[in-house]
Amino acid sequence: MTVHPDYPDPRMIPDDVPFEHVCEVCGKTESLTSTEAYAAGWDYPPQMYQWGVVSPRTCGRCGMDATVWWALMADRKQLEDLTPEQLATVDRIRNEIPD
């Protein structure tokens, strides 16, 4: 699934074009520009972190300590320790940018 159907590479999405933001913790989705998302407290590329690299993808209400990134980095979990939902998040993040 691409971040924006018109931009296979999300790094090409212009600043004023909204795209789907997906909170990996609560599952909330919102169509926002990156500026709007940042103002609303989302931790999301490109304002925070990089596309295609496992890092938090959270809305303004959710904390990074519930993210897959936290599980891997702070809790030192291995991929095989992750839940199916967490693995789906890893896949989604890795598929943000084209191979």
Residues 22-61 that bind Zn ion (CB under 5 A): 23, 25-26, 28, 59
Q: Which residue lies nearer to Zn ion by CB, 62 or 71?
A: 62
3-state secondary structure of 58: strand
Q: Taking the chain, what is the end-to-end CA distance rounded to the nearest angstrom?
A: 13
Q: How far apart are CA 66 and CA 13, in angstroms?
A: 28
Q: Which residues sit opposite 7 in a β-bridge? A: 4
**Binding residue (CB under 5 A) for Zn ion from 3, 22, 62, 93:** 62
Q: Which residue lies nearer to Zn ion by CB, 25 or 32?
A: 25
Task: Give the binding-site size for Zn ion (rule: CB under 5 A).
Answer: 6
Q: Which residue lies nearer to Zn ion by CB, 23 or 37?
A: 23
Largest CA distance in the chain: 39
- Binding footprint of Zn ion on the chain (CB under 5 A): 23, 25-26, 28, 59, 62
